[in-house]
Amino acid sequence: MARPKGSILVVDDEPAMRLLLSSVLKEEGHDVTTASSGEEALRLIAKRHYHLLLTDLKMPGISGLELLEQVKRDDPGTAVILLTAFGTVEGAVEAMRMGAVHYLLKPLSNPEELRLSVRRVLEERRVTDEATTLRQDTESVFPFGEIVAGDGKMQAALELGRSVAPTDATVLITGETGTGKELMARAIHHWSPRAGQSFVAVNCASLVETLLESELFGHEKGSFTGAVVQRRGRFELAHGGTLFLDEVGEMTHALQSKLLRVLQDGTFERVGGAKTVTVDVRVITATNRDLQRLVGERVFREDLYYRLSVFPITLPPLRERPADILPLADHVLRQAGRRFGKRIVGFAGEVPALLQGYGWPGNIRELQNVIERAVILCGEERITSAHLHLPLSSPPLSPGAPKTLRELEREAILGALVTHAGNRRKAADQLGVGLRTLYTRLREYGISGESVDEE
């Protein structure tokens, strides 16, 4: 197996040592950058990520220990090797406790010692990265499944998904737009015996009837204008796996009849064809419409409805999952930070309270859009209320039981803060209270009240 190459930052105040270290590592094929001080190293680290930091322990100004502490706080994915003289081994031991992966004694007895140490560290990092990538792949499929399901309703929905996954039962997932219906379908597929086969998704609302029929069942050459070759449909492509039909309530009666036949006996004909095609497909459907009402209005076939809803799962809207809002926001923040190359450590001031106080009519999809936009706009370490750009109003967070006066007052305060992008003085003016009174209420309700904005 080829040795893993990496980007390495060498930090030493001695020019001869920097030259020696960088020469040995460049011969190994590594991308090497050098710095003559801890201060210069921090400036370089602020501009890019390094796989490995190789730093002297004793340096004027920022020491190796201080540099290690800063790097582990700002970029914990960077591995650190310390260089130390024989008389400062205790300092190197302390560095190991702080997160350094290895230390080498100066002067180096043999360049091979350096080569072997760096190879081992980068190999360990490669294995860790592969595990992280595998976990991130899972997270991209289940951003609310294995990661965020603190709310009881969401936990119950996931348990239903886990229960039905090992079977071939048809599942109907209902919920508002943006609640993660396709993600739930993917989770069920992932937990099922069909996980190694294809997961094929079709949005039934995005295509006109003629195109949707061809998309689902395929067509024969010459069956209509533009059909210059035979084409297999999504049912055939999903053979052995799972077919997810989103917005199934948008299907016409003719297509509903054809879908019912496939669900009953697993057969159909391509558009323009006479040959019967047989498939083995697990079908999961989803809709944000009330199918029972559509059945009553004779818009949706009753027999198809009962065939689809063998195992119904309803996903709660985000406003009914307040405990999951901040964990989801943190997850989206981490993903967006990696994708956009931003080092943002979290949310500042009253932002968590603003996120929890907003009603999220667009659910998880809206939350994702808001956080990703904030990450793009943010040029600081933390996202502030000015980066959020939340609408001025939204549905109430938790409809249902009558609210207490304290709950109404807290919602009014949060609403005013959202309206004025976190500006507390303007929020106080809107509420008709003094700034001091507002701060008292902020502390009382656990809403951060740091730093007064008085523009």
Q: What is the pLDDT of residue 138?
A: 43
The answer to whether the beta carbons of residues 439 and 385 sit under 8 Å apart is no
Spatial strand order in the sheet of 102-106? 31-35, 7-11, 52-56, 79-85, 102-106
Go through the domains of the chain in sequence order and give each one's CATH number. Answer: 7-138 (3.40.50.2300), 152-314 (3.40.50.300), 319-444 (1.10.8.60)
Q: What is the pLDDT of residue 403?
A: 54
**CB neighbour list of residue 49: distance below 8 Å, 6 or more residues apart:** 7, 75, 77, 78
- Residue predicted with more confidence, 50 or 148: 50
Q: What is the pLDDT of residue 280?
A: 93
pLDDT at 232 over 90: no
pLDDT at 267 over 90: yes
User: Is the model's pTM score more than 0.95?
Assistant: no
The Cβ-side half-sphere exposure at 79, using a 13 Å CA radius, reads 21
pLDDT tens-digit map of 36-72: 999 999 888 877 778 899 999 889 999 888 898 888 7
pLDDT tens-digit map of 301-334: 999 999 999 999 999 999 888 888 888 898 889 8
Go through 368-400 and write b for each residue having 16 or more CB atoms within 10 A of its CB, e for each that does not: bebbbebbeebeeeebbbebbebeeebeebeee
* Whole-angstrom distance, CA of residue 218 vs CA of residue 242: 17
CA-based torsion, 209, 212, 218, 221: positive or negative: positive
Mean pLDDT value across the chain: 82
User: Which of 9-13, 56-60, 134-138, 328-332 shows the lowest per-residue confidence on average (mean pLDDT)?
Assistant: 134-138
Q: What are phi and psi of 379, to 5 degrees?
A: -115, 20
What mean pLDDT comes out for the span 447-452?
46
pLDDT at 393 over 50: no
CA 116 to chain CA centroid, nearest Å:
36
* Whole-angstrom distance, CA of residue 69 vs CA of residue 92: 13
User: Percentage of the chain surpassing pLDDT 90?
Assistant: 32
pLDDT at 130 over 50: no
Task: Give the angle subtended at the CA of 47 by the CAs of 42 and 52, to the nearest 5°.
Answer: 65
Q: What is the pLDDT of residue 433?
A: 76
pLDDT at 98 over 80: no
pLDDT at 162 over 60: yes
Q: Are strands 171-174 and 199-203 parallel, antiparallel or unpaired?
A: unpaired
pLDDT at 117 over 90: no
